[in-house]
Copies of this chain bind each other. A is one copy, B any other.
Amino acid sequence: MAVTDIATRTYDHGFRLDPIVRSLLDTDFYKLLMLQMIRHLHPKVQTTFTLINRTTSVRLADIIDEGELRAQLDHARTVRFGKKELIWLAGNSFYGQDRMFAPEFLQWLAAFRLPEYELQTVDGQFELRFEGCWAETTMWEIPALAIINELRARAAVRDRGRFALDVIYARAKAKLWDKVERLRDLPDLVLSDFGTRRRHGFLWQRWCVEALKEGLGSRFIGTSNVLLAMDNDLEAIGTNAHELPMVYAALADDDRGIADAPYRVLDDWRRHYGGNLLIALPDAFGTSAFLANAPDWVADWTGFRPDSAPPIAGGEAIIAWWKAQGRDPKTRLLIFSDGMDVDTIEETYRHFHGRVRMSFGWGTNLTNDFRGCDPDGMAGLEPISLVAKVTQANGRPAVKLSDNPAKATGDPREIARYLKIFGDEGRTKAKVAV
């Protein structure tokens, strides 16, 4: 007896669209933390966020129908924070802290909707921009990336038969579980999911998160995805991102203000969050320059998230700096999050084990590793390097230098200007795989 649930099947076939963004909590936790500070300190700042496809060989607009993309973006604009979601944000504790979000902020969130977007297709790529109030445009970053990545994955598997699909997901599951079994051999591992923006799809990310929860137990400390954290009783993980120093620098009136921007961000952050969430992202304009000029109080922070330097070299540089500042690295935390996979996690873990506290943010290679899984061997499921970066603030160009020149963004003349200010020391060009 073949059992078909006719009602479900009819419902599925009646989809106007199969939505990718089902909740405004389906975003990275740091977005909400930054948003609260942005609204409080910079409510009038106008920004532009721009989609950047670093994998130029993949012509996204040839793969994804522009109409479908618009339908998904339009759908995301209809989504509101639900009552249950706001109650959870209000009542949950984050990093051991109650009432992380102020009642007034939550009230504002209740009416929040994603702002308008501008989309056009130029030479096989999408030009997608979000212009407006920083406190609104910032919220597009994650859903926009998740939508495009999932639409691309859907296009890649669209013509596969039921059987090929079954094999693709069976292989991807087997592959992830092999990774879990390797990670189990690292007894003090501390790992979280950072894979929302680059995921294959929402349902797949959910499976990955459930797999890590089941397979790694307490070594899996949480997920950056707020919705999955809520639904799975996991910690929501994250603090802040490059957009803060990028906007602060763009708004500065002179070179001195640009040079000082990363520290003003951290100063605002520690005041705003009352001495919690003290993880610094040092690489917006190069880690070497950041460390060389950092005020002493930065060494009192919990730790750093080196995000574009090679993990071992980047970690060593920070450890050396802590020692030079008279701090014991064993009391400090390094969070590695740049394109990590099991090999680099193992290598980094073994290299630093016992010398510093460590945590890993596992992103694209967790939630979008379908390499070798497609029985037809066709392309289209390999991850690409897609980002949505702030490119302007109050009409002024925003720049990211990064520790890896291949990850720099911004107008070339502005990049040159920033390089004069921050120097080029310690920056190493490396292939950006994901």
In the complex, residue of chain B having the shortest beta-carbon distance to the beta carbon of A169:
B170
Contact with B along A160-183 (1 / 0, CB 8 A): 010110110111011101000100
Chain B: minimal CB distance from A178 (Å): 9
Query: Given B8, B163, B166, B174, which contacts A3 in the complex, CB threshold below 8 Å?
Result: B8
Say which size band chain A's interface belongs to.
20 to 34
Which single member of B161, B163, B177, B181 contacts A170 (CB below 8 Å)?
B177
Given A8-B3, A170-B177, A174-B170; A163-B375 close (CB under 8 Å) = no
A331 CB to nearest chain B CB (Å):
36
Which residues does chain B contribute within 8 Å of A167, judged by CB atoms?
A: 173-174, 177, 211
Q: How far, in angstroms, from A77 to B177 measured CA to CA in the complex?
A: 41
Residues on B with C-beta less than 8 A from A8 are: 3, 5
Given the interface pairs A3-B8, A375-B181, A375-B215, the reply to whether A166 lies near B161 with Cβ below 8 Å is no
Contact with B along A181-223 (1 / 0, CB 8 A): 1000000000000000000000000000011001100000000
Q: Which of B5, B171, B173, B177 contacts A177 (CB 8 A)?
A: B171
Q: Is the CB–CB distance between B375 and A161 below 8 Å? A: no
Q: How far is the CB of A161 from chain B (nearest CB, A)?
A: 7
- Complex CA–CA separation, A161 to B213 (angstroms): 13
A sample of 23 cross-chain residue pairs with beta-carbon separation below 8 angstroms, ordered by A number, consists of A3-B8, A5-B5, A5-B8, A161-B214, A163-B211, A163-B214, A163-B215, A164-B214, A166-B173, A167-B174, A167-B211, A169-B170, A170-B170, A170-B171, A170-B174, A170-B177, A171-B173, A171-B174, A171-B177, A174-B175, A177-B375, A181-B375, A215-B375
